[in-house]
Amino acid sequence: MENVIAKKRVLLIDDEARVRTSLKMVLEPLYDILQAGDGHEGLDVFRKEEPDLVLLDVILPGTDGLAVLQTLRMEGKVTPVIMLTGTKSVKTAVDAMKLGASDYLSKPFDVDELRIVVDRTLNSSELEREVKQLRAQVVQRYAFHNLIGKSESMQEIYSKIEQVADSRTTVLITGESGTGKELVAKALHYNSARRDRPFIALNCAALPETLIESELFGHEKGSFTDATARRVGQFELAHTGTLFLDEIGDLSAVTQAKLLRVIQEREFTRIGGVQSIKVDVRIVAATNKNLDELVRKGQFREDLYYRINVISLYLPPLRERSEDIPLLAKHFLEKRLEEERRSRIEFGKEALELLTRYSWPGNVRELENFVEQAFIWSQHATEITPEHLPASIKSDSRSTSLRDDTLAGRMSLEKAVMEFEREIILDALKRTNYVQTHASNLLGISRRMLKYRMDTLGIGRPDNSLHSEPEPLVQE
């Protein structure tokens, strides 16, 4: 059955029946029309029907139009209202706009103007509603209860975020690449009073030195060869909001000096400009470098370091909070299941154990990528098993397990070395379909040495191997 898009509903509140009839004739082909002859009736119809737009006469018997508008706004109604007036009083229009009217029209109406104003107001209202819904979704996404991690170190981070979020204090976030520094920056922004204002992110390492200053502060037309038009910089775009400067340790000395001035003075000048521009911007900076060391080497300004390091948040690497790995893996899997609307699938116990033992050099970002791969390889499965995980996880997890067993006294060093060697040789053989010449080349040893190690470790050719390999006529 074909879906029918419901018409927008417009409420006409006017004491003149002929005016309501005229408005209805003009608008009814496009909209469903509701009518009321005075203010009290209009409020009753509004509360019962909740229209999408109100056309409200200023002069009504009893309660006038401005009073009706004021009542609607006091009740928290945000429905757009277009005022109708028989006079061209500018004061009446201004008063109506102050009370929250979207627009006004003077009688007698121009039919085309009426249609344009109604259509524009409805579209603007719908766009504003969508923006509010999207903003609410973003705020919900970065709410404290949605931050993943039960480890003590992450709980401490969440506590600090909650304490400093609703302030304009500059925050420095440090940690290895992939630990979620931008996520924390967004949590700071969307849990602050600036949540409805811009969040602007700039990766300082991603731009060449010739562009970074223009990107930060903007430029005037003609200020340099390629400046064909005025450009607004990130500081201006972030006005009243938050500017996230990622990889701030990569800024040059010149840019560091200019950034310091902006933080101190809260004003700057565009490249090629003469006018100072004042801004209200909260700075959140991040780096995976050791800024203390850069300061000692003279590669980062000490005064800038103290300006941005008012509040410091250190994000530990994933390998130091292994208890968070299953939670994060399940979260990323749920996210993909929701996006793809796929049938239910979960991580098996063995797969989760492998993920937990892996060292995660790429941290949370690497984990999300690996979950994405496992999601793809498990298209027709009901459970994610070790065979769906990348080989690097399995080999790294096995070596970690052998190390832990050896250091805990559960396995001798000799036995651990043999097991590790066995794992590597088996992996090489599997990758080359048990063609020993190829496997020995992959391992960087002779075929004879490979055969000797296979015999020593009890590694044989599986019965289902696809290719056989004749023994060489000449010994290597």
Q: Measured between alpha carbons, how far is 225 from 215 in angstroms, rounded to an integer?
A: 16
pLDDT one-digit tens code per residue, 97-117: 888 888 888 888 888 999 999
Q: What is the pLDDT of residue 2?
A: 47
Answer whether residue 429 shows pLDDT above 90: no
pLDDT of residue 131: 66
- Residue 318: which residues within 8 A CB-CB, separation 6 or more? 178, 179, 324, 325, 328, 360, 363, 364, 366, 367
Residue 307, pLDDT score? 95
The two beta strands, 53-57 and 242-246, are unpaired
pLDDT, residue 177, reads 92
Break the chain into its structural domains and give their ranges: 9-135, 166-316, 318-411, 413-476
- The CATH class, in words, for 318-411 is mainly alpha
* pLDDT of 473 higher than 50: no
The tokens of 230 are what? 């005025």
Query: What tens digit of pLDDT does each residue of 366-385 get?
Result: 999 999 999 998 988 889 99
Beta strands in 46-170 (DSSP E): 53-57, 81-85, 103-106
Displacement of CA 214 from its chain's centroid (Å): 25
Taking the C-alpha atoms of residue 418 and residue 425, their distance in angstroms, rounded to an integer, is 11
| Residue 106 phi, psi dihedral angles, 5° rounding | -100, 140
Span 4-15, pLDDT tens digits: 567 899 999 999
Q: Regarding predicted confidence, which is higher, 397 or 455?
A: 455
In this prediction, what percent of the chain has a pLDDT beyond 90? 45
Which class is domain 413-476?
mainly alpha
Q: Parallel, antiparallel, or unpaired: how do β-strands 231-232 and 218-219 relate?
A: antiparallel
Statement: the pTM of the whole predicted model exceeds 0.85:
no
Question: Does residue 133 surpass a pLDDT of 80?
Answer: no
Alpha carbon of 367 to those of 112, 123, 164, 322: distances in Å?
Answer: 58, 42, 28, 12
Q: Looking at 93-97, 123-127, 170-174, 338-342, which range is the least confident one?
A: 93-97
Which helix (DSSP H) or strand (DSSP E) does residue 33 occupy?
strand 32-36
pLDDT digits (tens, 9 = 90+) for 28-67: 889 999 999 999 999 999 999 999 999 999 889 888 899 9
Domain 166-316, CATH among 3.40.50.300, 3.30.230.10, 3.90.1170.50, 1.10.287.130: 3.40.50.300
The pLDDT of residue 143 is: 60
pLDDT, tens only, 262-274: 999 999 999 998 8
CATH class, domain 9-135, is alpha beta
Hey, do 318-411 and 413-476 end up sharing a CATH topology, with the first three levels equal? no
